[in-house]
Amino acid sequence: MHNVLMVIRREYLDRVRKKSFWIGTLVFPVIMVVLVLGPMALTRLSSGPKRVAVVDATGRLFGPMQDELTRRGRESAPKDEKKSAPAGGLVLESVPLQGSVDATYTAIKARVNKDDLYAVIIIGDDLNSETNFRYYGRNVGDPQTQQRLESALQRAVILLRMERAEVKADPETLRKAMAGIDFETFQVSASGTESKKGFLEAYFGTFLFVFLLYMTLLLYGIAVMRGILEEKSNRIMEVLLGSLSPQELMTGKILGVGLVGLTQVGIYVATALVLPMLVPGASGAMASAFDALSPMRLLWFLIFFILGYFMYTALFAAVGSVCNSEQEAQNLQSPVIMCLVIPMVATFFFVSQPDSTVARVVSLIPLFTPMVMVMRINTLTPPLWEILLSIGLTLGFIYLLFRGVAKIFRIGILMYGKRPTVPEILRWARS
């Protein structure tokens, strides 16, 4: 026990003191921050109020359009932005008609090119003409703004048409009659409870988890493998085995690297928790990104992470122990990596059909269990007995795997020269 602790200690200190650890550890939160805050920051930067000039030949549309924009801006803006951007960051400017609409446009065209105006909207008098409404802008690749203006204008136009058609109704009734519809999406789980969630949300939430699982399992599996290869190529194995049993060495290594992993994940989680406090407004985005973070899901995730960790580091340890160099390990590690890649690539399938027979069967194959079960639990929580069965099978598999790998390790770490063939390795594991 003392010896295992000492190996854990060395592995942990050795890795945590390296610059590469900190670089690797900081890169992920930075990416996360950029992904979450970046779009918000960009929106803010570009939305110093955009001035849009409106040339309204009817003289009746500008007011309702502005009202509409303001009303919607108030509804959709986050709390802290309501005052600063009453119309959702858009400022309309009414341009008096000078002769024809085209002549008026020509007169202010220059302002569009001089940054003063974001866009110019031209409204002719004939509401039924196809070319009556025109949008001139420097940037026509901003569908969001364009769409907001369009729909605000549309409301105003419909109201005006009705008025011209002498449909008598008060504006409030008309507005209500015109309200559009949106589907509200519910997810029905096996137990019959319903939760409000869209497919894309489910997909991205789950993918985040699966990707985290994939990255960490791969990263730490390879770290264990490299460590063993390094000890072999430095010819230090035998020195260590003079004091340690191979099992102590293997266990200490796997646990030590695992502890480094937990440190790293801890830093990630801390970032996720602290970030919303530092940046007001990020909480909303974070909350939706981490919608999947219910305590129960987190617990399952943790369990499957640990199972996956032991399973894959043991496999990578076996690969490392029978190879002499990383080049040699390339071939042998690829089947192990494939076992991680396949479920990740198939995330879309599993999320869209979480209780298909294929998903249920695959989630019971120990090598795929951690990732596929996390997908299933996140989308359509399977019956408890299936989860427990998969955990049981995986634990059984890990037990057999550790016994086999310990034997491979014992023989492999002292072998130099030609790499043994796969049948040879399997024979060692059984012996």
Amino acid at 290: F
Lookup: tokens for 103: 């002549």
**Nearer to another protein among residue 144 and residue 234 (C-beta):** 234
User: CB atoms < 10 A from the CB of 147, how many?
Assistant: 10
Left (φ > 0), alpha (ψ -120 to 50) or beta: where does 425 sit? alpha
Render 229-250 in DSSP notation, one character per residue. HHHHHTT-HHHHHTTS-HHHHH
Distance separating alpha carbons of residues 220 and 313, to the nearest angstrom: 7
Rounded least distance, CB 327 to another protein, Å? 19
Rounded least distance, CB 283 to another protein, Å? 42
Rounded least distance, CB 14 to another protein, Å? 7
For residue 189, the surrounding DSSP H or E stretch is: none
**Nearer to another protein among residue 10 and residue 74 (C-beta):** 10
Strand 119-123 with 90-95, pairing: unpaired
**Nearer to another protein among residue 4 and residue 36 (C-beta):** 4
- What is residue 358's three-state secondary structure? helix
Rounded least distance, CB 389 to another protein, Å? 38
- What is residue 415's three-state secondary structure? coil
Alpha helices in 128-233 (DSSP H): 143-164, 171-178, 199-233
Rounded least distance, CB 335 to another protein, Å? 26
Max CA pair span of the chain: 99
**Nearer to another protein among residue 236 and residue 302 (C-beta):** 236
Rounded least distance, CB 329 to another protein, Å? 19
List the beta bridge partners of residue 55.
Answer: 95, 122
Rounded least distance, CB 410 to another protein, Å? 8
Question: Which residues of this chain interact with another protein, rule CB under 8 A?
Answer: 2-3, 6-7, 9-10, 14, 230-231, 234-245, 248, 410, 414
Rounded least distance, CB 336 to another protein, Å? 26
Rounded least distance, CB 332 to another protein, Å? 21
Distance separating alpha carbons of residues 226 and 417, to the nearest angstrom: 18
Lookup: tokens for 354: 């979480």
**Nearer to another protein among residue 53 and residue 237 (C-beta):** 237
Rounded least distance, CB 251 to another protein, Å? 13
Tokens 């002498």 map to which residue? Answer: 166
Tokens 């569009």 map to which residue? Answer: 112
**Nearer to another protein among residue 10 and residue 109 (C-beta):** 10
**Nearer to another protein among residue 17 and residue 196 (C-beta):** 17
Q: Give the C-alpha distances (Å, rounded to integers) separating 230 from 130, 222, 322, 326, 415.
A: 73, 12, 12, 9, 14
**Nearer to another protein among residue 68 and residue 231 (C-beta):** 231
Which residues, in sequence order, are CB contacts of 419 under 8 Å at separation 6+?
322, 323, 324, 328, 332
Q: CA dihedral defined by 319, 324, 329, 330, rounded to 10 degrees?
A: 180
**Nearer to another protein among residue 2 and residue 114 (C-beta):** 2
Distance separating alpha carbons of residues 180 and 182, to the nearest angstrom: 7
| 221 in Cβ contact with 312 (< 8 Å) | yes
Q: Which one-letter DSSP state was computed for residue 81?
A: G
**Nearer to another protein among residue 240 and residue 342 (C-beta):** 240
